[in-house]
Amino acid sequence: MKRAKGIIAASLKQINSVLPSQSSTTNRSLLHSYQREFVKEFLVVMKKMNDEGCELEAAAYEGILRNLKKQKLTSVADAIVEFFEEKVKESANDSIVESVVSVVRESEWNEEVLGKLEEMDFSVSEDMLLKILRGIRGCPLKGLEFFRWVAEKRGFEHNAVTYNALLKVLGHEDSVGKFRDVVKEMKNVGYEIEFDTYVKLARQFHKGKLMKDGVELYELMMDGPYRPKVQDCCALLRQISMHPEPDISLAHRVVKKHESVGRSLTKAEYDGIHRCLASVGKFDEAGEIMETMKNAGYEPDNITYSQVVFGLCKAGRLEEARQMLDEMESKGCTPDLKTWTILIQGLCGAGDVDKALKCYTDMIGKNCQADADLMAVLVTGLCKFNKASTAYALAVEMIEQGHLRPWQATYKSLIQDLLAERKFEESIKLLRSMKRHNYPPFQVPFVQYVSKFGTVDDAKEYLKAITVKDYPSNSAYVNLFQAFFDEGRISEAQDLLYIYPQHIRNHRDIVKQVGLTKNPVIASA
């Protein structure tokens, strides 16, 4: 029996790719066609059916068992019986879970909901409760009510696993008060927050109004048996620094707790503290941290200086931010692309795009090559201040001379801004460049522009630009024709039909549209 179960278990781990997807009927035929020497393959097909949700009909199931026993494969038959009995049980439990989740989620927790739950005949297992709690995530307070209900009405005894599952449900802004209460309750009955739970909760807490709760959770975990990793301290400090208004006291609490368990600060942690201070404009204190870093054997590097540059830009002290790069060089730390990007982004954000372009020129002069991120920063900054033509010229230069591959979003944004300024030729050139970089054709703004302002020649140019093989897609032709028609440009729509290939002129959507119009010219095109 154990050997047969082992065969099933082994087959479960291997073969998703052994057989192609089959219909339920085909799989049943395969199951009937096995021989003794193909037991393993038989189990593969059975597993494949199970994965694809194909149920084995009773008649087929009984026939298979008879054949197994006839070939004296009794142990395999017994294992399969047990396997399918477990599947039947799981299916019944899943049905109960769906019913319970539906009842709990459909309305507020009230006497009606309680009445429906009382009427349902089921016993609660740990696995079932976990599935139900997962099903009602997004309704944290209902999850808590159900958690209490199964203990009170069904006599279920909660354990560390179910408490941790509840914490994941409650770890949201609108239920954080209940979350704290349950944590205290857990501690009182001797259960701990597991590390996996901490990781999931940390993702939810390390943002917005829950940052303080994230720090409290970190402190709690550091005092327990499942301490966060060293890098979790760095991640938390980074999240604090990225907040629009960083709370320095939270950063100090994180560092204090980190050191309280005998851990010394690494370069990453020093940078985390420094980032928080620079972000809120506490440059004197940030300077003191830099000195402490040096004394601890960590020389300030591009990361450290970039944080000062970011803080100065955020504080509007742009000239000092630019001077910081010169100071870096004087101390033997050459500014890297990230540092230049932070400075240029700060200048663009402040509207000083001319200085941003000057810094870009300085950067290139120092043999520091741009990347797609910096290109996006410059293009976005220029377009924001109505300099789409300058952004276009810069983009072409960076693509053709710098051999850059822009982000798809950069292409799209710049094309839209150029078309808004009626710069069709420039936009088409970028569309061709997109195609060379294997991005899908960006059609919507061109269709809108050409149908409203363009000529038939513009339409031909656009269709040529999006052609990958012999012709653009059928939908490209149809959409362009429809757009001209919707704009009331009937004459241009007629001219388009003359240049369209025959298979497009006979396309059912175009035939239908032409048939609907009363214009005799269109109708005869």
C-alpha–C-alpha distance, residues 160 and 300, integer Å: 45
pLDDT at 14: 40
Q: Is residue 194 classed as helix, strand or coil in its secondary structure?
A: coil
pLDDT at 58: 63
pLDDT at 512: 72
Work out the number of other CB atoms within 10 angstroms of the CB of residue 427.
26
C-alpha–C-alpha distance, residues 26 and 103, integer Å: 38
Sorted by sequence, the CB contacts under 8 Å of residue 488 that are 6+ apart come out as none
pLDDT at 57: 63
Burial of 520 (0-12, 13-18, 19+ CB in 10 A): exposed
C-alpha–C-alpha distance, residues 79 and 216, integer Å: 50
Sorted by sequence, the CB contacts under 8 Å of residue 262 that are 6+ apart come out as none
Residue 180: φ, ψ to 5° = -60, -40
- What pTM value is reported for the model? 0.68
pLDDT at 1: 42
Write the secondary structure of 205-229 as one string of H (helix), E (strand) and C (coil): HCCHHHHHHHHHHHHHHHCCCCCCC
Tens place of pLDDT per residue across the chain (525 aa): 444 444 444 443 443 333 334 444 444 454 444 445 556 666 676 667 666 666 666 666 667 777 777 776 776 666 666 666 565 555 545 677 888 888 888 888 889 888 888 888 778 888 888 888 888 888 899 889 999 988 998 889 999 999 999 999 999 888 999 999 999 999 999 999 999 999 999 988 876 678 999 999 999 999 999 999 988 999 899 888 888 788 889 999 999 999 999 999 899 999 999 999 999 999 999 999 999 999 999 999 999 999 999 999 999 999 999 999 999 999 999 999 999 999 999 999 999 999 999 999 999 999 999 999 999 999 999 999 999 999 999 999 999 998 999 999 999 999 999 999 999 999 999 999 999 999 998 999 999 999 999 999 999 999 999 987 777 888 888 889 889 988 999 888 888 888 888 888 888 877 776 655 545 445 555
346 within 8 A of 314, measured Cβ to Cβ: yes
pLDDT at 308: 95
pLDDT at 16: 36
- Which of 121, 134, 128 has the alpha carbon at shortest distance from 156? 128
Q: How far is CA 454 from the centre of its chain?
A: 38
Enter the tokens of residue 162.
């179910």
Question: Torsion over CA of 36, 41, 43 and 48, rounded to 10 degrees?
Answer: -150
